[in-house]
């Protein structure tokens, strides 16, 4: 690992294994480099991805297994190695802080995460970083809230971002279920 916290070699540019799973919030696809999880996307990762694709089920299996366990209610803490090497220093530090310090069943505001990350990025900038998070759910940007409400969420199926954020926070016990909870999935 270098002084800037980036592991060199074996990253996404060396190839990623791609796979997917169906979840209560839609189909998810994941990409795993030789370093770790590099992407989680709703839908499919395009065949013409910016990374070379490798056939490596063993590399992929831990990510798919942990996401499956999370959605089944059997996993509260992801232990996957992450590959954030494609990000700049501040976004990487903000996402690492979120991954390491904001656990299942908890939430944090954009302003609190700005302070806790120590990057000097203001709350509005934290929102932009959350919107560009390449590894949603595992790096839990759904747990980051506005000071006066849910805030935004760019994840989920098209047009269902806030409903997806609400579903994830309810599943984790941060929000109370609504009367129509069963139909929310």
**CATH number of the CATH domain containing 167:** 1.10.10.10
Catalytic residue among 35, 87, 93, 141: 141
> Is 141 tagged catalytic?
yes
How confident is the model over 104-130, as pLDDT tens digits? Answer: 999 999 999 999 999 999 999 999 999
Longest dimension (CA), the chain: 51
CA–CA distances in Å: residue 76 to residues 51, 131, 135, 146:
30, 23, 16, 23
Residue 172 lies in a domain: yes
Residue 135 lies in a domain: yes
Count of CB atoms situated within 10 Å of the CB of 112: 16
Residue 126 lies in a domain: yes
* Structural domains of the chain, count: 1
> pLDDT value at position 57?
96
Return the closest-CA partner of residue 136 out of 46, 41, 25.
41
Residue ranges making up the domain that contains 117: 89-184
> The tokens 């941060």 sit on which residue?
174
Residue 136 lies in a domain: yes
| Nearest-10 crossing angle of helices 89-101, 110-117 | 110
Residue 79 lies in a domain: no
45-49, 158-162, 165-169, 172-176: range with lowest mean pLDDT: 45-49
> pLDDT value at position 7?
42
């Amino acid at each position: 690992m270098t002084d800037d916290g980036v592991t060199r070699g074996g990253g996404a540019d060396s190839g990623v294994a791609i796979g997917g799973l169906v979840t209560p919030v839609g189909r998810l696809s994941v990409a795993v480099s030789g370093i770790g999880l590099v992407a989680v996307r709703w839908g499919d990762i395009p065949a013409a991805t910016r990374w070379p694709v490798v056939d490596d089920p063993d590399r992929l299996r831990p990510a798919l297994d942990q996401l499956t366990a999370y959605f089944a209610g059997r996993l509260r803490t992801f232990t996957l190695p992450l590959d954030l090497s494609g990000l700049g220093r501040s976004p990487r530090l903000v996402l690492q802080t979120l991954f390491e310090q904001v656990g299942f069943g908890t939430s944090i505001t954009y302003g609190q995460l700005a302070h806790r990350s120590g990057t000097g990025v203001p709350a509005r900038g934290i929102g932009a970083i959350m919107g560009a998070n390449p590894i949603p759910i595992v790096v839990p940007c759904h747990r980051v809230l506005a000071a006066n409400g849910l805030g935004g969420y760019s994840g989920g199926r098209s047009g269902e971002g806030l409903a997806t954020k609400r579903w994830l926070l309810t599943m984790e016990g941060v929000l109370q279920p609504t009367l129509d909870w069963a139909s929310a999935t």
